[in-house]
Amino acid sequence: MDAMPDTTTKRVLLAAPRGYCAGVDRAVIAVEKALELHGAPIYVRKEIVHNKYVVETLSERGAVFVDETDEVPEGARVVFSAHGVSPAVREAADQRNLLTIDATCPLVTKVHKEAIRFARDERTILLIGHTGHEEVEGTAGEAPEHTIVVNSPDDVDGLEVSDPENVVWLSQTTLSVDETMETVRRLRERFPALQDPPSDDICYATQNRQVAVKKLAPDCDLVVVVGSANSSNSVRLVEVALQAGATTAYRVDRAAEIRDEWFEGVATVGVTSGASVPEILVRDVLDDLAGRGFETVEEVRTATEDLMFSLPREIRADLKVKEAERAMRA
């Protein structure tokens, strides 16, 4: 007779891909380079990415995070976050003669361009996303007269659209793929003429992290997602893990938030992290788990990522100038 599988062996299933995406990497480096090139303070409108540790670390190095550009001294340098800004924010920055560095992720900019094009064609844009999230404010701000934000599938029934024959949907980049597809299904039921965006708005990183956590979740008694509370893509990973069959799933900003009571009867723990989460925070979580007897770590990889974006053009230009000055001195 075959031996029964040993369900009491403690192990960790570590999702891959997890953590930093290309847009976050670029945005964080943009602030670091701005500090190196120009010295502190460098102002940043909103959190550069939605991660407490990243914001705290950059603050210690001289970044000053503000809510709006009117808090930035006239003529100073300000970085726009990875989540993008509306044209109104750009105008407000121009009014104060601010030197702007645009760290908007190129995949967010792509959605802005779609919004601009559809508004020009006089279509109504049903923007699936969360009201109040910076990315949604930025995208909707490209065409406020033409955009209606749809927060969830349940929002669909209450929508009022002036020309139901001329509607298109777009979305925030960091949503749950499954929930968004459900929203689209409900939208199409109500508006059969609904047009699709030219390509996926939910970005590759969001999708890949959801696919990886879905793969390991059914085997997990507990899934720990590292990420901050305001990080849409991180919070979605908890929901996706639960929907995919994890017995329990929790989000933590850092290892110290892990609670003893989560581990009763737990043999397999899944670990993943959002697109704005530095790997060091995941390492700390793995150390904590090892201390609880979860020393065996198996990686569950569902994709390999090698996308990289070039730095914002303002930073590239400043780096070139610095390089030329150095060459002159040599």
Residues that bind ligand 0CN (CB under 6 A): 23-24, 49-50, 82-83, 105, 108, 135, 173-174, 231-234, 274-276
Does 86 help bind ligand SF4 (rule: CB under 6 A)?
A: no
Minimum distance of ligand 0CN from residue 173's CB (angstroms): 6
| AA identity, residue 91 | E
Binding-residue pattern over the window 16 to 35 for ligand SF4, x denoting contact by CB under 6 A:
-----xxxx-----------
Please choose which of ligand SF4, ligand 0CN, none residue 50 contacts, taking the beta carbon within 5 to 8 angstroms, the exact cut-off set by kind: ligand 0CN
Does 210 help bind ligand SF4 (rule: CB under 6 A)?
A: no
Helix (H, G, I), strand (E, B) or coil at 133: coil
Does 203 help bind ligand SF4 (rule: CB under 6 A)?
A: yes
Helix (H, G, I), strand (E, B) or coil at 16: strand
Which distant-in-sequence residues (6+ apart) come within 8 Å of 31 by Cβ?
A: 42, 44, 48, 58, 63, 79, 103
Please choose which of ligand 0CN, ligand SF4, none residue 147 contacts, taking the beta carbon within 5 to 8 angstroms, the exact cut-off set by kind: none
Nearer to ligand 0CN, 216 or 235 (CB): 235
Nearer to ligand 0CN, 105 or 286 (CB): 105
Question: Within a 13 Å sphere around the CA of 255, how many CA atoms are in the beta-carbon half?
Answer: 15
Which distant-in-sequence residues (6+ apart) come within 8 Å of 183 by Cβ?
A: 128, 150, 152, 153, 155, 156
Does 54 help bind ligand SF4 (rule: CB under 6 A)?
A: no
**Whether the Cβ atoms of residue 306 and residue 52 lie closer than 8 Å to each other:** no
R_g of the chain computed on alpha carbons: 22
Please choose which of ligand 0CN, ligand SF4, none residue 141 contacts, taking the beta carbon within 5 to 8 angstroms, the exact cut-off set by kind: none
Helix (H, G, I), strand (E, B) or coil at 1: coil
Minimum distance of ligand SF4 from residue 24's CB (angstroms): 5
Minimum distance of ligand 0CN from residue 327's CB (angstroms): 36
Catalytic residue among 134, 135, 137, 142: 135
Minimum distance of ligand 0CN from residue 25's CB (angstroms): 10
Q: Where in 212-231 is the site for ligand SF4 (CB under 6 A)?
A: none
Strand segments, DSSP code E, in 5-104 are 11-16, 42-45, 63-66, 77-80, 99-102
CA distance 169 to 191: 11
Stretch that binds ligand SF4, among 38-46, 105-113, 162-170, 256-264 (CB under 6 A): 105-113
The pair phi, psi for residue 126, each rounded to 5°, is -95, 105
User: Chain centroid to CA 89: how far?
Assistant: 20
Nearer to ligand SF4, 174 or 268 (CB): 174
Question: Within a 13 Å sphere around the CA of 47, how many CA atoms are in the beta-carbon half?
Answer: 18
The yes-or-no answer on residue 135 being catalytic is yes
Minimum distance of ligand 0CN from residue 107's CB (angstroms): 7
CA distance 82 to 23: 7
Nearer to ligand SF4, 221 or 239 (CB): 239
Minimum distance of ligand SF4 from residue 310's CB (angstroms): 14
CA distance 197 to 142: 16
Which residues does residue 271 pair with via DSSP β-bridges, in sequence order?
Answer: 14, 224
| Greatest C-alpha distance within the chain | 79
Any idea which residues carry the catalytic annotation? 135
Binding footprint of ligand SF4 on the chain (CB under 6 A):
21-24, 82, 105, 107-108, 173-174, 203, 205-206, 233, 275
